[in-house]
Structure 1
Amino acid sequence: MDVLIIRVVGGDAYFKLGIMSLVISQWENGNKKVKIVPDDATTFHLSFDFYEEVVVVHATDLIGVPHLAESKKGCWGNIYIPFNCRRATLAQIERKISKILAISSWKVPKTFDLAHLIAHNDFKRYQQLSPAEFMIMTLIGQGIDCHFISRTMNRSIKTVRTHYRSASRKLGFDNQADFFRFAKYVANNSQGAINTLCL
């Protein structure tokens, strides 16, 4: 990929300028260019949207155009990556951006789901959320408390809290507010597909 398309979404001008400059420094050299599009631009086949808690990779180009109809039926078309840079050092943010941008060079297997995409690429070494962790995260993102989740999933409160802590650790969130903001975004947008990537 020669041109990387990114959007940096939000009202914080310092965040936007900082992310733009880090992405440009990580990506641009020789024939590689970055195209920064406005917040309200339409989604492209492969683009990276940077928010304060999450990076959304619009992955149409990875899954292949023939699968577009299938992705709209509720499989997955986007990848959600936690992006918590409030308490991170500049070096940690640069490493995270480097891992995120490496997605653009993924080899695409024929199988149409994120688990197989990860297994066939360099990202298989990263720990991903289990189905139970993902479900608990999205229920928390919908504002449902642990007691109701426990009854709904027929699991003990202790098990629900263990899954919550495990998901929070894998995603790299060290406080409940950041975890909740990410969980709320995924719950509102994932359509039930397990499409988070813990980089």
Structure 2
Amino acid sequence: MLQIVIDSNNGYFELGLQYLLLTMKNHNHQSDDVSLNFTLSKRDISLPDIIFREFMVTINIKHEPGIRKNHSLAEISRTIHIPFICRSHNMDDIILRIRKILLIASMGYGASTRTDIFKAAGLKRYLQLSATENNIMLLTGKGHDASDISRLLHRSERTIGVHCRNAIKKMGMENRLEFYKYATWLARFGNSDEITLCL
């Protein structure tokens, strides 16, 4: 059973998402390909399977019990971040995105490689961040501006701007502020082997 935490100071977001998740769970059909077997937990749980925030979702995929008991938490889990900006989406799109998130979270550690995630969730590789776009996002999150990033990556500022706009579009964000908020969070709390997926 997946443990879901909603980490938000926005009461409307939290109540709306709780209602939507519980409605989805109550209307689940046996023929569905996604298991909607989850519990909504308190924020103080140590390592929930899914954490919903107003701008992103974090999925922690853990090893199955009994595997690698003597390793640290960082070594026995895979972390996937998904931008979750829903202002411009209709309810059917939001439900589809949540179903994909639940599918990815329920895949298990062994099947959580990028290729398997792409296949299972119906994601296209060309709609994901390129290595350059990902580097620009991480450097932006560390506080670098376009001129710093162009010097570090040996590209023109114009090229950096194009990559940044492409990343914003792929991630479903509406502006650079949302991109900066997401990038800053990743730079502060994430590490380089974590995956960002665009739904």
How would you bin the TM-score normalised by the shorter chain? 0.7 to 0.9
Deviation at 1:178, TM superposition (A): 1.1
Structure 1: how far apart are the matches of 2:69 and 2:136?
28
Correspondence for 2:161: 161
Question: Cα–Cα, structure 1 residues 78 and 35, in superposed 2: closer, same or farther, change >3 Å?
Answer: same
- Partner secondary structure for residue 68 of structure 2: helix
* Alignment counterpart, residue 34 of structure 1, candidates 27, 31, 38: 38
Asked if residue 99 in structure 1 is aligned to residue 103 in structure 2, the reply is no
Which runs of 5 or more residues in structure 2 are unaligned?
A: 31-35
Q: Which runs of 5+ in 1 are unaligned?
A: none
C-alpha root-mean-square deviation of aligned residues, in Å? 2.8
Structure-2 residue corresponding to 1:14: 12
Aligned to 2:174: 174
* Larger displacement relative to structure 2 (164-173 or 76-85): 76-85
**Which of 68, 71, 74 is the aligned partner of 1:72?**
74
Q: Distance in 2 between matches of 1:76 and 1:192?
A: 14
CA change 1:161–1:68 in 2 (3 A) is farther
Equivalent pairs, count: 191
What residue in structure 1 maps to residue 59 of structure 2? 57
Letter in 2 for 1:121: A
Any conservation in 1 of the 2:82–2:198 contact (CA below 8 Å)? Answer: yes
Could you tell me which residue of structure 2 aligns to residue 152 of structure 1? Answer: 152
The answer as to whether partners of 1:141 and 1:184 remain within 8 angstroms in 2 is yes
Aligned CA distance change for structure 1 residues 49 and 107 (closer, same or farther; 3 Å) = closer
The equivalent residue for 1:129 is 129
**TM-score, L = length of structure 1:** 0.82
Contact map agreement 1:109 1:116 (CA 8 A) in 2: no
Question: Quick check: which one's helix share is greater?
Answer: 1
